[in-house]
A and B are shown apart, each in its own frame.
Chain A
Amino acid sequence: MSIGTFSRTTFRGWLGGLVEPRKMVLILVTLFVGAGALIPIFFLVWDSFKNVYVGNLFDTSLTNFTLKNFREAFADPRALGMLGDSFLFAFGSMVVAFFFGGTIAFLVERTNTPLRNLMYSLMFIPLVMPGMLKAIGWILFLSPTIGLFNKVWFAMGFVDPIFNAYSIPAMFWVEGLSETPMTFLFLGAALRAMDPSLEEAAYTAGAGKFTTLARITLRMMTPALAGMALLQFVRGIEAFEVPLLMGASAGIHVFATNIYFAAREINPPLYGQAFVFSLVLVSLALMGLVLYQRMMGRAGQYATVTGKGYRPRLLDLGKWKPAATGFIFLFIIFAAVLPFLILLYASFLPYYQVPSAKALSVMSWDNYRSLLGRSDVLLTIKNTAILCGIVSVGGMIIATIVSWIVVRMRTKGAKLLDGLVFIPYAVPGIASGFAFMIVFLTFPNPIYGTIWILVIAYLVQFMPIGTRFTHAGVAQIKAELEEAAASSGASLVTILRRIIIPLILPSLIAGGLYIFLLSAKVMSSAAILYTPDSTVLSVMIFQLWNEGSIPMVGSLAVLMIIAFTILTILSRRVGQRRAMTSGL
């Protein structure tokens, strides 16, 4: 036997192994994840140090590196103001989100507030509503000229407006309200995960309620509180829609709006500056997330042997009980009910005006009728449905495969994949949208300007979110369950179909729904990537708002909210029933 034949057969065997369908799937998914995570980052870094302009988007030469973009970006005196405004806005939203989310989590998990168990269902109401619509709703209350609250103020005889929607406090008020449900869910979960006997041990050791609260509960919660504060701050730095709608017209800019204007609104576009702002934003987010991971690692150390599932002792609020329930409902009113009501009101008007007898007399269904007769609206709805459907289903399929590889294979490659899939989490939508725009403008392709570029951008952007659901789901399945199926003769595909997917279906449905809603709600990368043919609902709302047709915005918003609500309820039903039958 010659060495030649030996190596040839080995090579053929290796190739044969490669085209084996199951390996092909694994390799394709890994390639997609790797390319999606790394290519935009590469472009952000590379082009930040290159002289880029329309016609020269990707300079492949290994010389020509320059700091020109940085100089120009930060030479602008407004850049410094932007930094300050960004930080103030992010800090303010964090404070608002903690004030509501933290207080409500404590009331729900540790006091006898009446109706507290309703909270977990109620929190879905603000979650269903896009941040952009909250912003628009609140502008209609706080605008110095047309805001309802200011109109009431004027009617009381005052001349100067009391609220200003186009100010940093109003911006972080709305952003904070949007971030509250996440803060509540996270802190509530942390409180619930705490072994109640840690508090009970303090009581039996002679500590009273407040000593226990201060020395045990609060101290045990410190890592979770600090981690959440950091995460909220990062999200505040990345925020786009609220600053765009409420800040931009008053000259208040943050990172995301700066990128958007440099890349899309200014002519000719300042790509160099957009790259620099994106790079700084990604670096800030990455630093925050690494720090967050560290903190959560410390929190993990606090995990102890858990005892029996007794509920923790609840603080008796006594005569403050109605006030506590009132506080929770006040939040729901601020975060969802008020913005929805004013949008609903606006949707029946021919042109926007504050409520009056005259306004009531001109209300009609005309806006809804004309909306559903507009071909651009119908195209937009179709685009949005394609985008959300493919991104949610495709995203969860990719996530399931990634999680399976990461949780089961435990090889170096699997670890790498776990890291890759997390990267887009540190790339805010606006930056990743901008990076994808440059990538697809650089290489000739048929999908730029179609809805498919949005599909790819969103799939990549929401990868980390999908895997967060599936990682937990797959980790819950003991390896023996799969091994038992394999030893009964099932192939990998059969194992996936008959064992894994049925067992993690509740996570898949929950994750799919979450991504569906995010794809419909979040405008960031769409704002940069859309063309008239590939407009989606979030972008259309923004355009209608810019045109000043508030009643049209209202009617489209109302339809969106109703559709999202129905979808959420249905999916939660299915998810719960599946969860019960599968015993998870």
Chain B
Amino acid sequence: MIKVTNLSKRFVTDRGEVKAVVGVTFDVPKGAFFTLLGPSGCGKSTTLRCLAGLEKPEQGEIIIGDTVMYSSEKGISVPPDRRDAGMVFQSYAIWPHMKVFDNVAFPLQVKSKGLNSAQIREKVKKTLELVRMEGYEDRPATQLSGGQQQRVAMARALLQEPRVLLMDEPLSNLDAKLREQMRVEVRDLVHRLGLTTVYVTHDQLEAFAMSTKIAVMFEGRIVQIGTPWEIYTQPANKFVAVADFVGLANFFEGKVVGGVGASGRGTIETTMGTLECTVPEGMSTGGKVLISARPEVVQVSREKPSGGGAIMLGEVERAIFLGEYFDVRIRIGAETVRARLGPYFEVKDGDKLYVQIAGSSCSVMRSESVASAKQ
């Protein structure tokens, strides 16, 4: 439904030129919920605004449906009002000088699709019901709460029955509780309507909870595209940013010592012991790697466990009780490993514990790609 190819956008600021988006390419199939996830300033909003036509990129191609919306090669740039893309803004952009009805009906008022005023009224009513704001038609926009403004903004974007729905951090101005509720509501709504959605957020929980696919962006580039599960369990083989930005991770260096077979699994020697892991394609014996293991896959026990994987004895450097779990830092030689222990483990600083990491719950990246990302 959406096809973005090699998109680039620069900004000229007081401090010189900023490359906001660099060669971004992605596809969004019909009906998908596609999220651009990344830290602030990574270019995710700019990418979305290029899709909407609010920014003009320097290079690349944007196709929505079967219409070329932008192409640097063909010299095409369709203005935003003719892209048929509904957009929800971070600030909601509810016009304060209009009532709720006029805010929502605006798209049909400016582009009459052959509807008379009674039909428009009916459509507004139905759309407001969708976002659970029925009966608010005559309320002045200045008398809405943040959550209500958000719903009205959704209704306005939905009313035009757009080909694609674009959302720029729509939930970030809501308080935590409402945000969690709206996450589910928005996802269910666009899913029910079968809308193709591109969503921008810096909140990984939001991205995981809502998306069918996530593109992680860092410094203007997409560093990984995948399902939420793939992004979390197999952070990119390219950039540390993904593993580190999306959740927490323990990193340690290792070296492939052999056994890379057809299965793709190999034996890796690390400072934490020897692990059996899936190694990146094309890696051979002797290659240097970086291994990441999420804190929640680090197994901890007081007695020495049996079985394979890396088993080391360490000492608790600091244990912080967070209610749901203990956030524990365990020192093993020169390394520190972070683990999460259940609230009933009753760990305290100085405890001696066995740490076990299973190779199957680690992901392995090439060392050189890590080094280049860190530069």
Interface residues of A (CB under 8 A from B): 195, 197-198, 200-208, 211, 215-216, 219-220, 222, 301-302, 304-308, 310, 313
Q: Given the known inter-chain contacts A201-B156, A206-B160, A207-B81, please indicate yes or no for A305 contacting B91, CB distance below 8 A.
A: yes
Check A203–B86 contact: CB distance below 8 A. Answer: no
The distance from the CB of A200 to the nearest CB of chain B, in whole angstroms, is: 5
Chain A residue contacts of B52, Cβ below 8 A? 200, 204
Q: In the complex, identify which listed stretch (B64-72, B92-100, B330-338) lies at the interface while the others stay far away.
A: B92-100
The distance from the CB of B169 to the nearest CB of chain A, in whole angstroms, is: 9
Check B110–A220 contact: CB distance below 8 A. Answer: no
Report the Cα distance A198→B95, complex, angstroms.
6
Q: Given the known inter-chain contacts A215-B110, A305-B146, A308-B45, please indicate yes or no for A204 contacting B97, CB distance below 8 A.
A: no
Check A301–B89 contact: CB distance below 8 A. Answer: no
Q: Given the known inter-chain contacts A197-B91, A202-B106, A220-B97, please indicate yes or no for A301 contacting B142, CB distance below 8 A.
A: yes
Report the Cα distance A552→B155, complex, angstroms.
70
Report the Cα distance A308→B49, complex, angstroms.
12
Chain A residue contacts of B309, Cβ below 8 A? none
Check B95–A200 contact: CB distance below 8 A. Answer: no
Chain A residue contacts of B86, Cβ below 8 A? 204-205
B107 within 8 A of A: yes
Report the Cα distance A538→B102, complex, angstroms.
55
Check B156–A205 contact: CB distance below 8 A. Answer: yes
Interface centre among A215, A216, A219, A307 (most CB of B within 10 A): A307
Report the Cα distance A220→B94, complex, angstroms.
11
B79 within 8 A of A: yes
The distance from the CB of A138 to the nearest CB of chain B, in whole angstroms, is: 39
Check B91–A204 contact: CB distance below 8 A. Answer: no
Check B95–A307 contact: CB distance below 8 A. Answer: no
Report the Cα distance A222→B95, complex, angstroms.
13
Check A307–B54 contact: CB distance below 8 A. Answer: no
* A-contact bits for B120-162, CB 8 A (1 contact / 0 none): 0000000000000000000000100010010001001100100
B285 within 8 A of A: no
3 tightest CB-CB pairs across the interface, nearest first? Answer: A307-B91, A201-B93, A203-B80
Q: Given the known inter-chain contacts A302-B142, A308-B45, A313-B54, please indicate yes or no for A197 contacting B110, CB distance below 8 A.
A: no
Q: Given the known inter-chain contacts A302-B96, A305-B173, A313-B54, please indicate yes or no for A201 contacting B111, CB distance below 8 A.
A: no
The distance from the CB of A322 to the nearest CB of chain B, in whole angstroms, is: 22
Report the Cα distance A202→B96, complex, angstroms.
13
Interface centre among A195, A205, A219 (most CB of B within 10 A): A205
In-complex Cβ contact of A205 among B107, B149, B173 (8 A): B107
In-complex Cβ contact of A195 among B81, B91, B156 (8 A): B91
Closest B residue, CB atoms, query A223: B97
Closest B residue, CB atoms, query A220: B97
Check B110–A205 contact: CB distance below 8 A. Answer: yes
Check B110–A211 contact: CB distance below 8 A. Answer: yes
In-complex Cβ contact of A201 among B45, B83, B87, B97 (8 A): B87
* A-contact bits for B193-214, CB 8 A (1 contact / 0 none): 0000000000000000000000
In B73-121, the 8 Å CB interface with A consists of 79-87, 89-97, 106-107, 110-111
In-complex Cβ contact of B94 among A207, A211, A222, A304 (8 A): A304
Report the Cα distance A7→B49, complex, angstroms.
72
Check B96–A308 contact: CB distance below 8 A. Answer: no
Chain A residue contacts of B85, Cβ below 8 A? 204
B38 within 8 A of A: no
B53 within 8 A of A: yes
Q: Given the known inter-chain contacts A197-B90, A301-B142, A307-B90, please indicate yes or no for A206 contacting B96, CB distance below 8 A.
A: no
In-complex Cβ contact of B80 among A200, A305, A306 (8 A): A200
Chain B residue contacts of A306, Cβ below 8 A? 91
Q: Given the known inter-chain contacts A198-B95, A219-B97, please indicate yes or no for A203 contacting B54, CB distance below 8 A.
A: yes
Check A204–B81 contact: CB distance below 8 A. Answer: yes
Closest A residue, CB atoms, query B143: A301
Chain A residue contacts of B97, Cβ below 8 A? 219-220, 222, 302
Some 26 contacts from A to B, beta carbons below 8 A apart, are A195-B93, A197-B93, A198-B93, A200-B93, A201-B87, A201-B95, A201-B153, A201-B156, A202-B95, A202-B110, A203-B81, A204-B157, A205-B107, A205-B110, A205-B160, A206-B81, A206-B107, A206-B160, A215-B110, A220-B96, A304-B94, A305-B146, A306-B91, A307-B89, A308-B90, A313-B54
Report the Cα distance A272→B295, complex, angstroms.
88
The distance from the CB of B287 to the nearest CB of chain A, in whole angstroms, is: 43
Report the Cα distance A531→B342, complex, angstroms.
89
Chain A residue contacts of B90, Cβ below 8 A? 197, 307-308
Chain A residue contacts of B142, Cβ below 8 A? 301-302
Report the Cα distance A195→B93, complex, angstroms.
8
Report the Cα distance A324→B35, complex, angstroms.
42
Report the Cα distance A220→B97, complex, angstroms.
7
Report the Cα distance A377→B81, complex, angstroms.
65
Check A203–B79 contact: CB distance below 8 A. Answer: yes
Check B53–A197 contact: CB distance below 8 A. Answer: no
The distance from the CB of A185 to the nearest CB of chain B, in whole angstroms, is: 21
